[in-house]
Amino acid sequence: MAPKSKASSKAAPIPESKAEPPPETVGERSTQRFYKTNILQKRCEEAGLAALTPAEKKTYSHAQLIIPVSQDRVPLSTKAEREYWKQVSKENLPIRRLRRNYDWGHDRQGRQLDTYRLAEFEERSLKQARLAALDIVHRRFLAKRDKARKEGSELPAEDVAEEKSTRAAMAVLRKELYGKITGPLAQDPKWDDVVPIPQAEPEDALARIAYPDDYAEAVSYLRAVMATEELSERCLRLTQLVINMNPAHYTVWLYRFRIVKALELPILDEIEWLNRVALQNLKNYQIWHHRQLLLDYYLPSISSDPVSVKKLAKSETDFISRILEEDTKNYHVWSYRQYLVGKLELWTPAELGAAQNMIEDDVRNNSAWSHRFFVVFSNPREATPGSLPTATDLKVSTATIDRELAYAKEKIALAPQNQSSWNYLRGVLVKSGRDFTTLDEFTEQFVSGLGEESEDVKSSHALDLLAEIYKAKGDKEKAKLCLERLAAKWDPVREGYWKYQIAELEK
């Protein structure tokens, strides 16, 4: 029931106060409406109670008094109630009036809705209406799908695609209106049967708001499908989604391998995909373990076909070369390469050449030197199988030993202060069983005028080796001088080590 006409015989009509400007915000409009239904309130506030006529005063105070009754805060007997309504009607009291300070609530940013401009508010209401309409469409889809499934069929792809766009639109609206995030998986009808398992974290509002949404959603679906051990096409895509966001998540890799096996996916396709991931994540080692699992699984199926094995070796080494261009000393890649050489028996000139190319590019690449040593001295056709890298192996031919010594010497001449090439030289010498003293002439060329004013040392490693050579030859004095000069000038950071060697000398 609308409030009755303001014109009443008892309550004198009030002259319109100066015309109000139209409201701009929701709050202003509410205030204006409040005064429109509380006619005397404004005059009383502006001019004071004393300025009202006696009739107005009576109406005003009666109007205040009826509030507790109209709000049912004061229970009346039936008779009193009848009297009460009679009076209200007679006085034409404004009983159906608006209350002050209506709470419109706030939006997702915490902004009070009554500060919204009217046009903004209308836009918001329209969005709410659109969301409600989309929700009806969405529910219709669910009902249709249920019905179809009961009849043993699935809805056509167009329907599913349409539902997807409905949900996408709903997600946008929900986010805009309420700040609720609907991730891409929740928007995809193909995932409707999975109830995601979010990470159990303490109830902490801050943490929940700031959780990276898409990642959190993907991982919570991952937990759900792993719990039911589902191995399907969509799970494969889900693992890709998680890996793209966080390739260090080791569990997802293992799960992916299980899916690849269960679905009998072409291994070469998986490797192809893996190449792209590897190039984007150079420091990740799960990728290389996954690759090794794939290879171990795949090889038996082609081992009787030498052409396929050769092709695989070629594509693998090509890719390794490609990735080593990006990161020449990557430990995971090199260690995979050693696995590959053993597995595919790549004790070949090409493999040796690959390591050599890397050394030519950067003579200080210790990984490449190390690989060369492996390819030469672990080759079962040339070396004693199982011979440790630290052990002499007389099975290795003189020609090979000479070739490797010459190679190391050539590279030392290029960069005398390079640890890698000196270490290699020593390693080859141990393998050969030859005496260190055979290197005296070569080594001496990097040192001149030791202990004299003209002292010139092109390599502390040479000086170090010379100390050993002199010691082996029994020339303690010369050996001691080398060690003293190392401690004093050419490698003082390792003073402790050189002092130890000097003490050993004097034993």
Q: Are 221 and 196 in contact (CB under 8 A)?
A: yes
Question: Which token pair is 67?
Answer: 């509030």
CA-closest candidate to residue 285, choices 327, 321, 318 = 327
Where does this chain touch another protein (CB under 8 A) — which range of 34-42, 63-71, 118-126, 248-256?
A: 248-256
- Contact letters for another protein, residues 197-236 (x by CB under 8 A): x-xxx--x-xx-xxxx--xx------x-------------
Binding of another protein at residue 431 (CB under 8 A)?
Answer: yes
> What DSSP string describes 337-379?
HHHHHHHHT--SHHHHHHHHHHHHH-TT-HHHHHHHHHHHHS-
Q: Are 164 and 187 in contact (CB under 8 A)?
A: yes
Gap between the Cα atoms of 45 and 58, Å rounded = 16
Q: Judged by CB under 8 A, which of 338, 348, 356, 384 binds another protein? A: 338
Please identify, using beta-carbon distances, which residue of 172 and 388 lies nearer to another protein: 388
Q: Judged by CB under 8 A, which of 104, 273, 339, 442 binds another protein? A: 339
Q: State the number of CA atoms in the 13 A half-sphere of 399 facing the CB.
A: 1
Question: Which token pair is 371?
Answer: 């690989």
User: How is residue 4 annotated by DSSP?
Assistant: P
**448, β-bridge pairs:** 456
Please identify, using beta-carbon distances, which residue of 60 and 374 lies nearer to another protein: 374
Query: Phi and psi dihedrals of 457, rounded to 5?
Result: -125, 115
The CA angle 358-364-368, to the nearest 5 degrees, is 40
- Within 10 angstroms of residue 231's Cβ, the number of other Cβ atoms is 17
Query: Shortest gap between Cβ of 39 and another protein (angstroms)?
Result: 52
Where does this chain touch another protein (CB under 8 A) — which range of 126-134, 273-281, 369-377, 433-441?
A: 369-377
- Within 10 angstroms of residue 383's Cβ, the number of other Cβ atoms is 19
Query: Shortest gap between Cβ of 400 and another protein (angstroms)?
Result: 15
Q: Are 339 and 322 in contact (CB under 8 A)?
A: no
Please identify, using beta-carbon distances, which residue of 43 and 431 lies nearer to another protein: 431
Instruction: Tell me the number of residues near another protein by CB under 8 A.
Output: 60
Query: Shortest gap between Cβ of 442 and another protein (angstroms)?
Result: 19
Gap between the Cα atoms of 197 and 199, Å rounded = 7
Q: Are 465 and 435 in contact (CB under 8 A)?
A: no
Q: 373 to 402, contacts with another protein by CB under 8 A?
A: 373-374, 377-378, 388-390
Q: Judged by CB under 8 A, which of 55, 88, 169, 254 binds another protein? A: 254
The length of the chain in residues reads: 507
Where does this chain touch another protein (CB under 8 A) — which range of 48-56, 139-147, 152-160, 412-420?
A: 412-420
Q: Judged by CB under 8 A, which of 130, 234, 426, 473 binds another protein? A: 426
Binding of another protein at residue 297 (CB under 8 A)?
Answer: no
Query: Shortest gap between Cβ of 322 and another protein (angstroms)?
Result: 20
Q: 267 to 286, contacts with another protein by CB under 8 A?
A: none
Please identify, using beta-carbon distances, which residue of 266 and 389 lies nearer to another protein: 389
Q: Is 466 exposed, middle or buried (0-12, 13-18, 19+ CB in 10 A)?
A: buried
Binding of another protein at residue 343 (CB under 8 A)?
Answer: no
491-496: long-range pairs with CB below 8 Å, 24+: 491/460, 491/464
- What number of helices (H) and strands (E) belong to the chain? 22, 2
Please identify, using beta-carbon distances, which residue of 142 and 209 lies nearer to another protein: 209
User: How is residue 383 annotated by DSSP?
Assistant: S
Q: 25 to 44, contacts with another protein by CB under 8 A?
A: none
Please identify, using beta-carbon distances, which residue of 389 and 433 lies nearer to another protein: 389
Q: 147 to 186, contacts with another protein by CB under 8 A?
A: none
Please identify, using beta-carbon distances, which residue of 167 and 256 lies nearer to another protein: 256
Binding of another protein at residue 121 (CB under 8 A)?
Answer: no
Query: Shortest gap between Cβ of 187 and another protein (angstroms)?
Result: 21
List residues near another protein by CB under 8 A.
Answer: 197, 199-201, 204, 206-207, 209-212, 215-216, 223, 245-246, 248-251, 254, 257, 289, 293, 329, 331, 334-335, 338-339, 341-342, 364-367, 370-371, 373-374, 377-378, 388-390, 418-420, 423, 426-427, 430-431, 492-497, 500
